[in-house]
Structure 1
Amino acid sequence: MKPRNRKINVPSTKKKKKNQGQDDFFESAAKRRRKAALDEAIESDDSDEDVFGGGERENAEDGDEEVEETADEKRVRLATEHLERIRAIAKKIEEEEEEEGEGDDGRERKRDSLVAEILQKDQLEESGRVRRLLSSRVVEPQPEDQFQVLIKHLQPVTAVCLSEDESRGFSASKDGLIMHWDVETGKKEKYLWPSEEVLISHYAKAREKPSEKRSKHVLALAVSNDGRYLASGGLDRHVHLWDVRSREHIQAFHGHRGPVSCLTFRQGTSQLFSGSFDRTIKLWNADDRTHIDNLFGHQSEILTIDCLRKERLLTAARDRTMRLWKVPEESQLIFRAPAASLECSCFINDSEFMSGSDDGSIELWSMMRKKPTHIVKNAHPSTINQDIPLENGIKEAPQENGKGKNGLTCSAAQSWVSSVTVCRGSDLAASGAGNGTVRLWALEPESRGIHPLYNFPLDGFVNALAFAKSGRFLLAGVGQEPRLGRWGRNRTARNGVAIHPIRLKEEK
């Protein structure tokens, strides 16, 4: 007889595992829904402790292991903290406008509606669909309101950028020095370049000739929104990734065949775009340390690059074109300069942008038109303080033989616009020129026009500009020479980063 199979009763865990899987699924689904809602509603602000500490960690006491907070948990925690701050503001407003006779339920509903209104306003301003009106609130600068040198460099400054919370700034110069400094105190710290062996171990290409010295000439900087990464690029054809918390070199991305001239992080992500003299744009992932994609189209050296929250990229090159790249669709829109070569460009919002040319003009563009919607010629006049209005919204200053239509003379040639920037989500812009002046501009809705506000004198070539998100101050990277060459020199200028306060009227 064949032995019968005997069943052995083992405590079953299938039901428990099944239930546990269901719980995990619904928990993760809830997290996904909550994360999507938070992404649409607000963008969390990192505190200084979060930026430098890399997130809270449990104290490893009594031999316990450290439990590191995940990225999703950190986003939820920061969003919750931000929501609590908004609720506190709404409660304060409610107490100031409290009406008698309302019950607890009525006050609670009013407070919730006020919180939703504040969050919606912040989200619309952050996305660019609603523009903050800052230009009308700018107070005329007083004689004591001048550019003050905040950080000194030995060589001309080529790049300046600000952290998301406006507390820290980063600057680089032609001698390869990268500095990290506090905006309020001016306390600075240097980024030390590692040895050649360390660079090669970080995936940098070895030098073709061992006797040659690797160039550390920096042309571009970019900092991520979460404050974790700083990217630099220059004449060595590499994109270098730095850890902001420790100021240590993390990775060297190779692949460009020419100097890396411009860098930008996509807002809210770790995606990094780099533009080069080799006419290509490369997309990298800072978290994964990987190369993702290449973009081709420009026929000459790429000079500037900018990106907002959407996967859209704005670039300007010496082929007299500015291109709007739609990265997911792998398509591009080409905008051609009317006369001169474009030197710089930046986004106003997802469908409008601003550029500066080497003939001294500033242009406003719209995604719906191939030509500029508005042009200001000779935007940085040397000796006159008045523009001459012409038809079609175009302004002109003296051009031919140093004379304009009203007979005014101009002793100096037109100064090309070397840098432009826009206070994010607002109607306030700034431009810098080679004659050492920085000018504030007010942008009209839908690119209908641009008019000057105030001039800020600054001796030297204004190679880079950075606006505080709040609009309270403006940073300028200044040098005795232009950023991309040595065809001009101003020996009286000081190499460094200058800061100018901007006074704003209280919002009504």
Structure 2
Amino acid sequence: RGKGKGKRPSSAAAGDDPFFESEPKRRRARADEDIESGDSDDDALALGGAVVGEDEEEEKEDLETAGEKRLRMTKEYLERITDAVKRNKEEEEEEDDEDDDEDDGLPGGRRVAKLLRKKQLVESGRQRLSLAARVLPPGQQDGFKFIAKHRQPVTAVALSKDSDKGFSASKDGVILHWDVETGKSEKYLWPTEKVLVSHHAKAPLSKKRSQQVLALAVSSDGRYLATGGFDRHIHLWDVRTREHIQAFSGHRGPVSCLAFGLDSSELFSGSYDRSIMQWNAEDRTYMHCLYGHQGEILTTDALSKDRLLTVARDRTMHLWKIPEESQLVFRAPAVSLECCCFIDDKEYLSGSDDGSLELWSVMRKKPTHIIKNAHPALAPSSLDSADEKLPKGKRYFLNSAALFLR
């Protein structure tokens, strides 16, 4: 025994102990034998089967190619969309009856494709909804309510997206903030000339004529109010505090119209100098200038940050495609256009100085339909009421927003 203490283990003993195996292949072979022997044990399988299955799934994910991974993720996404279609089918039927009639005959795959297409249109801001069936006509008890707060003729009005707040301006530069439900108003106070200069306004600012406001626009989120007039500046106000925060200069003529992009902080201004300028209200910066009209610009409307509609005294309406730096020109049949607005990205409305209303399509250069005398003059009896007191003298109605409200 004493002689065998320092001897190396025998080959048989070394073969039983995997530590003494020098070749990697022999070690792997023995490991495989151990796994096979472990598979025969039911208790070991019950305890470790789940872990082995998870490892196999992880190995499969590691071994799959980029294309296989995209395919797997697409299938999982479609499964979630299919489940969402099944859950929300009844709600969609209540919201849009016309779409339901079409969806009833569609197979599941096409219904999922339609839902994906609708989601993409919503995210891009190009979804078209049929709202005519939901609009209720005014009842006999409904009517116009005239409120006399301004001392001078009203030159511009604007309404917030939620229709809770209204804004109006007059020739004397007074800007009022209205509560639509109660009819109460609060006045915006103009800052001193020193404060205006600190907000990047340029002289001259002391002329009385420069106080006249010609245009108003409120952002979609209700944070900013933009005003423009004879002082050739665009003034930016904080709606929450009613304080002046910025003055944009650049136009060489009076600012005649303003419009914010839909769900955007981008602001468009039109001027008597025949130019349209693009600004960013959030960053307080100038972005771009557009030229093309041959007359004073009267009205502008923005559907999104890359589509703009304008009319001018040159009897034309321009559709601007800002990213492409191109424009489509629509010519009025006989009279001068006064106002315009988007219906969607393919159809537009315009109002003329003779009271007519025109419907335009992007596929035609002439109006597809004209309504003559759409805005007839109001009878004097409809303006005079025992309950409402209007200032004496001439009455002026200068409001391009009538195209939106009527």
Judging changes above 3 Å, is the alpha-carbon distance between structure 1 residues 318 and 135 closer, same or farther for their aligned structure 2 residues?
farther
- Choose the corresponding residue for 1:374, options 369, 373, 383: 369
Partner of 1:201: 198
Partner of 1:436: 378
Partner of 2:307: 312
Query: Structure 2: which 5+ runs fail to align?
Result: 1-86, 95-110, 385-393
- Choose the corresponding residue for 1:285, options 261, 267, 280: 280
Query: Structure 1: which 5+ runs fail to align?
Result: 1-88, 97-112, 382-434, 438-456, 461-478, 485-496, 503-508
Any conservation in 2 of the 1:125–1:132 contact (CA below 8 Å)?
Answer: no
- Choose the corresponding residue for 2:323, options 315, 318, 328: 328
Judging changes above 3 Å, is the alpha-carbon distance between structure 1 residues 373 and 91 closer, same or farther for their aligned structure 2 residues?
closer
Judging changes above 3 Å, is the alpha-carbon distance between structure 1 residues 197 and 136 closer, same or farther for their aligned structure 2 residues?
closer
Partner of 2:106: none
Partners of 1:458 and 1:243 in 2: CA distance: 36
Map 1:207-356 → 2, pairs under 5 A? 207=204, 212-213=207-208, 215-356=210-351
Q: Secondary structure at the match of 2:298?
A: strand
Judging changes above 3 Å, is the alpha-carbon distance between structure 1 residues 137 and 179 closer, same or farther for their aligned structure 2 residues?
closer
Shift of 1:156: 1.8
Please state which structure has a larger fraction of its residues in strand. 1
Any conservation in 2 of the 1:175–1:218 contact (CA below 8 Å)?
Answer: yes
1:76-119, Cα deviation, whole Å (9 max, x unpaired): xxxxxxxxxxxxx979969x9xxxxxxxxxxxxxxxx99x9799
Shift of 1:346: 0.7
Any conservation in 1 of the 2:128–2:344 contact (CA below 8 Å)?
Answer: no
Judging changes above 3 Å, is the alpha-carbon distance between structure 1 residues 200 and 279 closer, same or farther for their aligned structure 2 residues?
same
Partner of 1:138: 136
Partners of 2:233 and 2:330 in 1: CA distance: 29
Shift of 1:357: 1.1
Partner of 2:178: 181
Greater RCO (Cα-Cα under 8 Å, separation 6 or more): 1
1:439-494, Cα deviation, whole Å (9 max, x unpaired): xxxxxxxxxxxxxxxxxx9549xxxxxxxxxxxxxxxxxx922439xxxxxxxxxx
1:197-221, Cα deviation, whole Å (9 max, x unpaired): 111111111118x6x4462111111
Any conservation in 1 of the 2:118–2:127 contact (CA below 8 Å)?
Answer: no
- Choose the corresponding residue for 2:396, options 481, 488, 499: 481
Amino acid across the alignment from 2:265:
S
Q: Which has the larger radius of gyration?
A: 2
Partner of 2:358: 363
Please state which structure has a larger fraction of its residues in helix. 2
Amino acid across the alignment from 1:148:
K
Judging changes above 3 Å, is the alpha-carbon distance between structure 1 residues 288 and 482 closer, same or farther for their aligned structure 2 residues?
same
Partner of 1:487: none
Shift of 1:264: 0.3
Q: Secondary structure at the match of 2:197?
A: helix
Q: Secondary structure at the match of 1:199?
A: helix
Partners of 2:382 and 2:171 in 1: CA distance: 20
Question: Normalization by structure 1: what TM-score?
Answer: 0.52
The CA RMSD measured in Å over matched residues stands at: 3.6
Judging changes above 3 Å, is the alpha-carbon distance between structure 1 residues 328 and 336 closer, same or farther for their aligned structure 2 residues?
same
Question: Normalization by structure 2: what TM-score?
Answer: 0.64
